[in-house]
Amino acid sequence: VKEKTEQYEEVDEREKKPNYEQRKWEEEQMSSAVFRFGAKEKEKQQQEYDLIMESQIEFIQALSLPGNKEKTEPEISEAQRKRMTIEETQKSLPIYPFKEDLINAVKEYQILIIEGETGSGKTTQIPQYLHQAGFTDGGKKIGCTQPRRVAAMSVAARVAEEMSIKLGNEVGYSIRFEDCTSERTVIKYMTDGTLHREFLSEPDLNSYNVMIIDEAHERTLHTDILFGLVKDICRYRVDLKLLISSATLDAQKFSQFFDDAPIFRIPGRRFPVDIYYTKAPEADYIDACVVSILQIHATQPLGDILVFLTGQEEIETCQEILQDRVRRLGSRIKELVILPVYSNLPSDMQAKIFHPTPPNARKVVLATNIAETSLTIDNIIYVIDPGFCKQNNFNSRTGMESLVVVPISKASANQRAGRAGRVAAGKCFRLYTVWAYKNELEDNTVPEIQRMNLGNAVLMLKALGINDLVHFDFLDPPPHETLVLALEQLYALGALNHHGELTKLGRRMAEFPLDPMMGKMLLASEKYKCSEEIVSIAAMLSVNSAIFYRPKDKLVHADTARRNFFVVGGDHLVLLNIYKQWSDTDYSTQWCYENFLQYRSLKRARDVREQLVGLMQRVEMDLVSNPTEHVNIRKAITAGYFYHIARLSKGGHYKTVKHNQTVMIHPNSALFEDLPRWVVYHELVFTTKEYMRQITEIESKWLLEVAPHYYKSRELEDSTNVKMPKVMGKTKAELG
């Protein structure tokens, strides 16, 4: 057991981050770090910056030191002052001089393409302008879609603040599993996925006067499908105004797609950005980020730093290392305010990135791609770009989806650099070589529709009565194989009949904002009389941030706590066990803390569960509980995820049944030491190897029961279901 434990530790650590620990931070390292500023150049830049920064610092001081102002304007209240600065900000935005022109253009044309640099005020101002111009009269809404949840929430909050109203009244947002709108809401921000779902209940979008498809350049799967849907609607709802808003140069392409709609350009205001490259490739870009941040902080004039990382884990690692080094440097450096931002961050923490930087301090924002175009953080002067992002990829041959870290495109790199030049001349530090930029980066990011599983999208379109998907009006069509595969999968799940029409089951599946496999699992739980248990499992699986908390200094305790939740059968049952125990404590925070569980993740699971239960009632599903019927629970899971089956082969490796691909059990799995012969997995993640995550042991004969169309008994031949001889000594059960 010991040997294995060590191995597990090692795999786990390697996956997370390479060896940062040995590195000792010394002051002189600052000069030997990634970027060297020549003394002369530094002096010149220093002077330039001093000039620019002087005005900026004054501005910041004026904002954050009310005492200074109060002496001269004592009669102005705090609230009034805030309003004034909001008004001033609004008027300073590049879009402001075009307010009247824009309103007139919307009145004149049904469809308008809007192009303007990130930060020009498209997302926050246009809905307000149209609201003021009377487009919400009679209680009709202005909708605005965002590709990301965080953006929808934070932008709605900002607009509510600008209009001095409470979020959720006239201005609200709606994202999956969370609706913050009311009867009074007339400006509604939502994710593109949410609008997609709204089509199901309101196919003509009748409650809207205006629909804005924002951040169109991001080309998410949902946005791409919306293009086809809204274009179609505009033909018979001539009173609906449609705005397609984009930050980059795709406007021409959008215009062509929307029958040559006019393009409204908002001239950008951009300061020059100097771009620096590393001399040699960086082996460890997180460390390179930390070094660069500190070097900028030590040598460069004030101004905030924006760093682009690929995800929550990387951000947290970087934050930890940075905090540690800053602590050790103590008073030798100025104050550095470190702020993370990623989609699962709670909204109060997100809001912090918009607060003004304290005087004489510097803010460093560690962000995912979200800060590339969706969120505008003011006063960024320095950008650090390691050149990677996390991307969803789908292999239509194997039907496998994976989330992988890939190099960004040139278009992305330029967007990122642009973030440094919004308020003053800026600098962008690319942690890759100029050669890599020129030769290794693609020009543009491939739109999601061409690299994602279309199961969910196809189910939605079918539910909208769109049967001929091959001739659907796509801006860029998805690969034919991907479309066919999605249809096949829905057929195997029983959502489509052999004419490709939606079945009764399919219609019910479409009611849930879930992947078709998860939807099927949920609906199958009715038959297996365990819907209470399955809905908890579905909710826990939907929480895509970590459930377990593993602080570096308490790894052993944390892992012991995690093991204490292990039950025979696998990870799905572990999730259920955690949820049940937590609800038995009446959803205690303390209990989470004691058991090294992330309270926020569990709380989110609880919210998601509540939403799902509501939807189950809508499709008239009974909530039935059978907590001890583990076989039934596992069968219901298999009924949804029979595409995700792997069987043990030689050497402790697994092979997927349909495509014979080699996959491994994730080291965090409860089954890591068990090696059952047959498993169903929730997802594959590719890190150093292809890992299955959230795994449950099954019996192969169940596959014939739950998916008779899909599995033939000869494929499941060695289905003895006898476990392989144990590699290690004890089983989970024996370990207790």
Binding site for ligand CDP (CB under 6 A): 89, 93, 116, 118-125, 154-155, 158, 354, 376, 378
Stretch that binds Mg ion, among 102-110, 118-126, 540-548, 553-561 (CB under 5 A): 118-126
Q: Does 368 bind Mg ion (CB under 5 A)?
A: no
Q: Looking at beta carbons only, is 158 or 666 nearer to ligand CDP?
A: 158
Q: How far is the CB of 120 from ligand CDP (least distance, A)?
A: 4
Other CB atoms within 10 A of residue 95 CB: 22
What is the 3-state composition of the chain as percent helix, strand, coil, each rounded to the nearest 5?
A: 45, 15, 35
Q: Does 220 bind Mg ion (CB under 5 A)?
A: no
Q: Looking at beta carbons only, is 353 or 389 nearer to ligand CDP?
A: 353
Contact 599, 549 (CB under 8 A): no
Stretch that binds Mg ion, among 116-124, 203-211, 278-286, 725-733 (CB under 5 A): 116-124
Q: How far apart, in whole angstroms, are the C-alpha atoms of residue 36 and residue 427?
A: 14
Q: Looking at beta carbons only, is 102 or 321 nearer to Mg ion?
A: 102
User: In this chain, which residue has its C-beta nearest to Mg ion?
Assistant: 123
Residue 685, strand partner residues: 691
**Residue 376 binds which of Mg ion, ligand CDP, none (CB < 5-8 A, kind-dependent):** ligand CDP
Stretch that binds Mg ion, among 120-128, 352-360, 662-670, 684-692 (CB under 5 A): 120-128
Q: How far apart, in whole angstroms, are the C-alpha atoms of residue 22 and residue 297?
A: 23
Q: How far is the CB of 273 from ligand CDP (least distance, A)?
A: 17
**Tokens at 726, concatenated:** 């144990």
Q: Which among 198, 224, 216 is positioned nearest to 452, based on CA atoms?
A: 224
Q: How far apart, in whole angstroms, are the C-alpha atoms of residue 395 and residue 453?
A: 8
Q: How far is the CB of 244 from Mg ion (least distance, A)?
A: 13
Contact 665, 671 (CB under 8 A): yes
Q: How far is the CB of 362 from Mg ion (least distance, A)?
A: 25
Q: Which among 699, 695, 637, 634 is positioned nearest to 667, based on CA atoms?
A: 695
Q: Looking at beta carbons only, is 123 or 391 nearer to Mg ion?
A: 123
Q: Looking at beta carbons only, is 218 or 224 nearer to Mg ion?
A: 218
Q: How far is the CB of 95 from Mg ion (least distance, A)?
A: 11
Those residues whose C-beta lies under 8 Å from the C-beta of residue 658, and which sit 6 or more positions away, are 398, 399, 643, 645
**Residue 391 binds which of Mg ion, ligand CDP, none (CB < 5-8 A, kind-dependent):** none
Element (H, E) at 340: strand 336-341
Q: Does 154 bind Mg ion (CB under 5 A)?
A: no
Figure out which of the listed residues 56, 120, 123, 295 binds Mg ion, where binding follows CB under 5 A. Answer: 123
Contact 672, 646 (CB under 8 A): no
Q: Does 300 bind Mg ion (CB under 5 A)?
A: no
Site mask for Mg ion (CB under 5 A), range 422-461, x = bound: ----------------------------------------
Q: Is 181 left (phi over 0), alpha (psi -120 to 50) or beta?
A: beta
Helix or strand or coil: residue 554? Answer: helix
Q: How far is the CB of 116 from ligand CDP (least distance, A)?
A: 6
Q: How far apart, in whole angstroms, are the C-alpha atoms of residue 432 and residue 430?
A: 5
**Residue 278 binds which of ligand CDP, Mg ion, none (CB < 5-8 A, kind-dependent):** none
Q: How far apart, in whole angstroms, are the C-alpha atoms of residue 678 and residue 666?
A: 15
Stretch that binds Mg ion, among 26-34, 81-89, 115-123, 419-427 (CB under 5 A): 115-123
Q: Looking at beta carbons only, is 371 or 679 nearer to ligand CDP?
A: 371
Q: How far is the CB of 422 from ligand CDP (least distance, A)?
A: 7
Q: Looking at beta carbons only, is 168 or 500 nearer to ligand CDP?
A: 168
Count of residues of this chain found to bind Mg ion when the rule CB under 5 A is applied: 1
Q: How far is the CB of 123 from Mg ion (least distance, A)?
A: 3
DSSP 615: H
Q: Looking at beta carbons only, is 93 or 408 nearer to ligand CDP?
A: 93
Q: Does 415 bind Mg ion (CB under 5 A)?
A: no
Q: How far is the CB of 426 from ligand CDP (least distance, A)?
A: 15
Q: How far is the CB of 215 from Mg ion (least distance, A)?
A: 6
Q: How far apart, in whole angstroms, are the C-alpha atoms of residue 613 and residue 579?
A: 15
**Tokens at 591, concatenated:** 């209990």
**Residue 154 binds which of Mg ion, ligand CDP, none (CB < 5-8 A, kind-dependent):** ligand CDP
Residue 175, strand partner residues: 178
Q: How far is the CB of 269 from ligand CDP (least distance, A)?
A: 11
Q: Looking at beta carbons only, is 164 or 323 nearer to ligand CDP?
A: 164
**Tokens at 715, concatenated:** 């494929």
Stretch that binds Mg ion, among 117-125, 163-171, 262-270, 474-482 (CB under 5 A): 117-125
What Rg value do the Cα atoms of the chain yield, rounded?
A: 27
Q: How far is the CB of 690 from ligand CDP (least distance, A)?
A: 38
Calculate the alpha carbon distances from 653 to 236, 273, 368, 400, 427 in Å: 56, 50, 34, 18, 48
Place of tokens 């970027």: 35
**Residue 93 binds which of ligand CDP, Mg ion, none (CB < 5-8 A, kind-dependent):** ligand CDP
Place of tokens 């040995």: 22
Stretch that binds Mg ion, among 121-129, 186-194, 392-400, 531-539 (CB under 5 A): 121-129
**What HEC string does 676-725 produce?**
CCEEEEEEEEECCCEEEEEEEECCHHHHHHHCCCCCCHHHHCCCCCCCCC
Q: How far is the CB of 209 from ligand CDP (least distance, A)?
A: 20
Distance from the first to the final alpha carbon of the chain = 14
φ, ψ of residue 117 in degrees (nearest 5):
-50, 150
Calculate the alpha carbon distances from 641 to 549, 636, 680 in Å: 27, 9, 7
Q: Looking at beta carbons only, is 120 or 317 nearer to Mg ion?
A: 120
Q: Looking at beta carbons only, is 165 or 624 nearer to ligand CDP?
A: 165
Q: How far is the CB of 147 from Mg ion (least distance, A)?
A: 10
Those residues whose C-beta lies under 8 Å from the C-beta of residue 580, and which sit 6 or more positions away, are 536, 627
**Residue 223 binds which of Mg ion, ligand CDP, none (CB < 5-8 A, kind-dependent):** none
Q: Looking at beta carbons only, is 127 or 494 nearer to ligand CDP?
A: 127
**Tokens at 195, concatenated:** 């609008």
Site residues, Mg ion (CB under 5 A): 123
